[in-house]
Amino acid sequence: MPILTTPKQRLGTATALAICLTPLPLLAQEQSAEQPQSTVQEQPAEQAQAETQEQPAEQENQAASQDQEQQEQQEQQEQQEQQEQQEQQEQQEEISAAPPIPLVPGEPTWDSFHGQLNAQKYSPLDQINADNVGELEKVWEIHTGDVSDGSGELPATVWSATPVFANDTLYVGTPFYRLLALNPATGEEKWSYDTQSSLEALTQPVLKNRGVAYWQADDPVEGEPCQKIVYMGTMDAQLFALDADSGELCEGFADNGVLNVNQWNDTNDKWPLSLLQPPTVVGDRLILGWAGMDWAYQQAPPGTVFSINARTGEREWEFQALSDEVREQSGTANVWTHMSADEELGLVYLPVSSPSPNFWGGNRTEEVPLATSTTALDIETGEVVWSRQWVHHDIWDYDINAAPTLMDITVDGEEIPALIQATKMGFLFVVNRETGEDVWPIEERPVPGGDGNVEGEVYAPTQPFPTKPAPLLDQSEKPEVWALADAVSFGECSALWEDLDYRGMYTPPTTEGAGTLGYPITAGGVQWGGVAFDPESQTAIVNTSHIVQTLKLYGREAYDSANRASGNESGFASQEGAPYGILLEVALNRFGMPCWEPPFGELVALDMTTGDVKWRRPVGASQQYGFFMPDSWGSPTIGGPAVTAGNIVFIGASMDAKVRAYSLETGDELWSDQVEAPSVSNPAVYEYEGRQYVAFVAGGNTILKEEVGDHIAVYALPE
């Protein structure tokens, strides 16, 4: 499929660099050759000679003076050009002399949402390993008090924060928008800060927080405040910058330590630009996306990404995924999850979501090539270097919802700088992270068209399909009806399956029957936890949910008269302004049992030298009415894994509110413990004073089940 590139990328990195470093005198010569010659009118030779002889002496002096002045200007220009050339050469030598920035940090690092900027979620620590992980014990735990089940005045809380270890401190944000700085060995509070944010569900059906970001100066000035800063955003679009040592606001950042990001919300201002995901910190920049309100409007704020100066809060550049025309009539295509970056290449990688409205595209029938894509930007300028669109004309809300994981892999003897992009569809796309080109072929294949009952809609004739790794789910046919769920509901599941349209992956939404079967739609495949990667064995680890959903479009009149109950990521949604509202539900029988066969979730290991599966196994246990189901059924999952040099995969994510350790080599479960609520966050792995720790936030998510919590549990080996 075509790859969007800038002219610089089409020329190639080396060629572009050569052009940038062309000596200025050479360019000056070209400019000089283009300057127009002065013109003289033709006249008889005798007349011209006479006029010349009669020219006064002072005119000759004036001409000589002009010649001297021009010569002096030319000499000054040449000196300036030589000076600029010398400066460029010095800059080039400085760049050449600078040590390369490794993709995998040389020291154990867990100072960002995915552990490191490469999003590998990998730790080189091996104190805890496959032989001793069964001895792990809980060494400290705390309850923050910042929790709501939604039964009172406050909305329910969803807590997906990855703890960040930096500055010998564990930092974490809460769904009440408080920031905690904790002793990493004991959990004792060093300081806390309350943003006093309004606890209202402005853009989400719940209160939500995914944690904090950390930055520090290359050479911190002793005694100066805010040489190390922790950032946290709020649902009402305020970004707070706090001194990492004291918890005091950084007065030099934005407006006395608080940046109002909503000041830039200037198109289709339907909601605040909610800062639920912490910024991605790259050098002295904060790369900032934001979250909005899914499924609500045809016209919505367009998906702008901002580059912010980490010290001052000043906006340096911005990126727009939509053209000006599409921005006016549509919206979103935002980046609401974390991003990854390769500092050596100077690229930041954006997982871009779908345009609005999510399930009807009659208002955006032209191509929108940067939507539902992985897009690589120049960190310095925000310009697009390359982009790959993973869903054409997205009408399924297939947001690219996880930061691509960057990795160096060996394929057929060739060392490849790669990235792997996980998706809701259960597809894993692998491309060269420098160019966006396929590592293994990605094929454009025909997909089903519409049934003619949806007004104004158009359909992409093909969609990209990866050949390796193979899809994590088999979407070629309808999933089999689960005989047990069908029997206890007296054939309810079979009847539903008969009434649902499914002609393979990308079957479009419809108004007919019970609607379209989606396997998966928004809840399945891979969620924002993303892919973990062990660089030593070149093994990727990913958890995937197997969930069937049903999607039906309702004409505006039918929608307005429907009984429109809704929940967290399910139920009715208006798509106001579009001719259709929607009903999106999980395909359950009357007793709440899934109508499709288990397993409902798996953990998968992939050999990234071949793209083949090394092992796969059900992960977690489903829970219903307080009972745990058999382990072989697995569980849907939210949150992702971490992997260590001790050949261990740590993960929470499952309905049963357990945290677990699996063998990287075999997939065997080696350890587990019960926590307060599903740990729907990525674990954090860190070392403090010579001891290795694993930290889980157990906050729950009402998409999995109603149980929520305010629990942080940290584990280590016995001393």
Active site residues: 397
**Is residue 77 classed as helix, strand or coil in its secondary structure?**
helix
Angle between helices 57-97 and 24-34 (to 10 degrees): 140
Give the phi and the psi of residue 293 in degrees, each rounded to 5.
-110, 110
The DSSP result for 616-654, as a single string, is EEE-S--EETTEEPPGGG---B-S--EEETTTEEEE--B
Q: CA–CA separation, 385 vs 6, rounded Å?
A: 5
Q: CA–CA separation, 422 vs 428, rounded Å?
A: 5
The DSSP result for 438-471, as a single string, is BSS-EEEEE-----S-STT----SEEEEESSSPP
Neighbours of 426 (CB within 10 A): 22
Residue 648: both structure tokens together: 């261990």
Q: CA–CA separation, 217 vs 229, rounded Å?
A: 9
Strand order of the sheet with strand 189-194?
A: 164-166, 169-173, 178-182, 189-194
Single out the residue of 311, 260, 262, 318 nearest to residue 287, CA to CA.
318
Residues listed for the chain: 719
Using CA atoms of 243, 244, 248, 249 in order, give the dihedral in degrees to the nearest 10. Answer: 40
Cα–Cα separations (whole angstroms), residue 269 to 262, 272, 287:
9, 7, 21
> Which residues make Cβ contacts (< 8 Å) with residue 363, sequence separation at least 6?
298, 329, 330, 357, 456, 578
In which residue are the tokens 């454009």 written? 444
In which residue are the tokens 């959990």 written? 187
Q: Where are the alpha helices (DSSP H) in 321-428?
A: 324-329
Strand order of the sheet with strand 228-233?
A: 213-216, 228-233, 238-243, 258-260
Residue 373: both structure tokens together: 């894509």
Residue 374 buriedness (CB in 10 A; 0-12 / 13-18 / 19+)? buried
DSSP 425: T
For residues 630 and 555, is the Cβ–Cβ distance under 8 A?
Answer: no
Q: CA–CA separation, 455 vs 362, rounded Å?
A: 7
